[in-house]
Amino acid sequence: MILGSTDEEVDRALERMRLNFYQLWIVVEELRTSTDPKGLLRRWREAPKGSIGWRNALSYEDALNSLRVSLSD
Protein backbone atom coordinates (compact mmCIF):
# COMPACT_ATOMS: atom_id res chain seq x y z
CA MET A 1 0.00 0.00 0.00
CA ILE A 2 1.15 3.51 -0.68
CA LEU A 3 1.54 5.43 2.58
CA GLY A 4 -1.52 7.40 3.62
CA SER A 5 -3.87 5.61 1.23
CA THR A 6 -6.74 3.38 2.26
CA ASP A 7 -7.28 -0.07 0.79
CA GLU A 8 -10.34 1.27 -1.02
CA GLU A 9 -8.33 4.08 -2.62
CA VAL A 10 -5.66 1.63 -3.77
CA ASP A 11 -8.31 -0.75 -5.12
CA ARG A 12 -9.94 2.08 -7.11
CA ALA A 13 -6.55 3.20 -8.46
CA LEU A 14 -5.72 -0.36 -9.52
CA GLU A 15 -9.10 -0.70 -11.23
CA ARG A 16 -8.45 2.53 -13.16
CA MET A 17 -5.05 1.17 -14.10
CA ARG A 18 -6.63 -2.08 -15.29
CA LEU A 19 -9.01 -0.13 -17.52
CA ASN A 20 -6.56 2.50 -18.81
CA PHE A 21 -3.09 0.93 -18.60
CA TYR A 22 -3.71 -2.79 -18.89
CA GLN A 23 -0.08 -3.75 -19.54
CA LEU A 24 1.04 -1.98 -16.37
CA TRP A 25 -1.76 -3.64 -14.40
CA ILE A 26 -0.68 -7.08 -15.68
CA VAL A 27 2.83 -6.54 -14.26
CA VAL A 28 1.43 -5.41 -10.89
CA GLU A 29 -0.90 -8.42 -10.77
CA GLU A 30 1.94 -10.79 -11.63
CA LEU A 31 3.86 -9.46 -8.64
CA ARG A 32 0.82 -9.46 -6.35
CA THR A 33 0.08 -13.11 -7.11
CA SER A 34 3.68 -14.30 -7.01
CA THR A 35 4.78 -16.51 -4.13
CA ASP A 36 8.08 -14.57 -4.14
CA PRO A 37 7.38 -11.04 -5.41
CA LYS A 38 10.71 -9.63 -4.19
CA GLY A 39 12.61 -12.39 -5.95
CA LEU A 40 10.59 -11.92 -9.14
CA LEU A 41 11.20 -8.17 -9.14
CA ARG A 42 14.91 -8.76 -8.51
CA ARG A 43 15.06 -11.15 -11.49
CA TRP A 44 13.29 -8.60 -13.67
CA ARG A 45 15.71 -5.87 -12.63
CA GLU A 46 18.73 -8.10 -13.29
CA ALA A 47 17.45 -9.27 -16.69
CA PRO A 48 19.40 -8.30 -19.81
CA LYS A 49 18.38 -5.09 -21.51
CA GLY A 50 15.67 -5.69 -24.10
CA SER A 51 14.38 -8.90 -22.51
CA ILE A 52 10.83 -9.44 -21.26
CA GLY A 53 12.04 -9.30 -17.66
CA TRP A 54 13.79 -5.99 -18.29
CA ARG A 55 10.60 -4.58 -19.87
CA ASN A 56 8.56 -5.85 -16.92
CA ALA A 57 10.89 -4.00 -14.54
CA LEU A 58 10.37 -0.78 -16.51
CA SER A 59 6.61 -1.36 -16.57
CA TYR A 60 6.64 -1.92 -12.81
CA GLU A 61 8.33 1.45 -12.29
CA ASP A 62 5.78 3.09 -14.62
CA ALA A 63 2.95 1.39 -12.70
CA LEU A 64 4.24 2.69 -9.36
CA ASN A 65 4.52 6.20 -10.76
CA SER A 66 0.99 5.94 -12.14
CA LEU A 67 -0.33 4.78 -8.77
CA ARG A 68 1.48 7.58 -6.96
CA VAL A 69 -0.12 10.17 -9.24
CA SER A 70 -3.53 8.54 -9.00
CA LEU A 71 -3.40 8.39 -5.21
CA SER A 72 -2.14 11.96 -4.82
CA ASP A 73 -5.34 13.42 -6.35
Tell me the pLDDT tens digit for each residue of 37-60. Answer: 999 999 999 999 999 999 999 999
pTM comes to: 0.84
> What's residue 40's pLDDT?
97
d(CA 28, CA 63): 7
**pLDDT of amino acid 11:** 92
**Residue 2: pLDDT above 80?**
no
d(C-alpha 35, C-alpha 9), whole Å: 24
* C-alpha 5: how far from chain center: 16
Could you give the CA distance from residue 14 to residue 9 in angstroms, rounded to a whole number? 9
